[in-house]
Amino acid sequence: MTEAAALPGQPRGGVISGPATARAHCVLAPNPSPMTLDGTNTWIVAEPDSDLAVVIDPGPLDDAHLTAVIDTAERAGKRIALTLLTHGHPDHADGAARFAELTRTAVRALDPALRLGGEGLEAGDVVTTGGLELRVVPTPGHTADSLSFHLPADGAVLTGDTILGRGTTVVAHPDGRLGDYLDSLRRLRSLTVDDGVSTVLPGHGPVLNDAQGAVEFYLAHRANRLAQVETAVEAGHRTPADVVANVYADVDRSLWPAAELSVRAQLEYLGEHGLI
């Protein structure tokens, strides 16, 4: 997911695994990698006085992790009543079917192929479980099926891979599209300006306490990368691989294949807008 080392916003400090807000608790999956950072953040979200909880992104198919999520909820006196997915990438969703089996919960997602025993999720939906309110925010771009979840009671938004706690995210072309991604970032910015969102609870990396700063960082980063890609093409770098080598020379080479996905999305965007 990540393609740069710069920190957006103001991270809370270190990898978060534990309470993040009054209603959100993170259980870190043991799947660290250059693409998943320290691992996938599985979120348990519940009203403090409720015995029901919602889990967002069970993570990889790892029984020890899935059991740890259930145990964490039970130690807090809560029963998991619903499972939600921000998107279908394996590090977020591969464990969903097994988790649904263990918890006897439905799985709700935008992609019908990921749903189990429940209805889907659409823009404007409000999930209410045990008094909890989660508002579904469509944030395509990283993938076509990417969603975020606005948690108004905590002034927070759970962003999956749309905004990370460290670095920036890949626009996973061809499923992900840059124009959609930029629109999604602007949609998230409106939450910070108009709806009091100050905290980002990301799918990877630490919590961000400056949600607006994080969104502005991401928008500026994308504008800079687009300008760099446009300049590279004008200088004769025509293939995505050549552009990556020129524009992402400061990025770890292990991330170049992921960067190439973003470059393909950037080239498509520039072509659609008549800029190259």
Domains of the chain plus CATH, in order, are: 18-211 (3.60.15.10)
Looking at residue 16, its pLDDT comes to 80
Looking at residue 4, its pLDDT comes to 47
Report the distance separating Cα 97 and Cα 104, nearest Å.
10
Is 80 exposed, middle or buried, given 0-12, 13-18 or 19+ CB atoms closer than 10 A? buried
Kind plus residue range of the DSSP H or E element containing 27: strand 24-28
Q: Which of 222, 250, 155 is nearest to 195 (CA)?
A: 155
Query: Which mean pLDDT values do the consecutive 10-residue runs of the chain (276 residues) have?
Result: 59 82 98 94 98 98 98 98 98 98 97 93 95 98 98 98 94 96 98 97 96 96 94 93 93 90 94 89
Is 160 exposed, middle or buried, given 0-12, 13-18 or 19+ CB atoms closer than 10 A? buried
